[in-house]
Amino acid sequence: MHPVHDVDSLLILATALSSKRRPGELVDIVAAADLLQNNIPNEAKLVEAFDRLAKHGLIKAEADGFVLTAAGEAIVTGLPRKAETPERLFAIKDRLSDYNVKGEHAGVAIDPADVTKAIQAHRASEKTAAKNLLVPKPKPEAEVHKPGLRQRKPMPARKRRD
């Protein structure tokens, strides 16, 4: 698949996150993209990326949302679990550059107004008091040593009795 855009790898990973059990709705995909990159690409780039990935056979529309095809799942499987997000996106982008399209696939037509509504709905949900479970836990800056917690001394070796 040539050329590979940064939005393509972000969209594939966001779709994989949002469509684990059911097809991911546009709002879910936008929320996952925001979680991954702390920034949402503009509407035109998202619409182009959806169409481009659908024509390459990596994403398909299903029911009220979007899912990865078998080829899209193959690109996402085997990613390092403990890697940071930029490393994962780079690995996906590398796999996309090696991917060759097999056959003709239909594109996905998404209205930019729908993408704008999804982005606005996501931003409105951020302002509510509800807890977003997709937010990763904050990592401590440095290892914190609590007072009173020390390692025990090893037990002395047993003395032999003759």
Q: In the predicted model, is pLDDT for residue 37 greater than 90?
A: no
pLDDT at residue 129 above 70? no
Distance separating alpha carbons of residues 113 and 111, to the nearest angstrom: 5
Predicted model pTM: 0.74
Which has the higher per-residue pLDDT, 60 or 160?
60
- On the question of pLDDT at 39 being above 70, the answer is yes
Measured N-to-C along each axis, helices 6-18 and 43-55 cross at an angle, to the nearest 10 degrees, of: 80
Whether residue 136 is predicted with pLDDT greater than 70 in this model: the reply is no
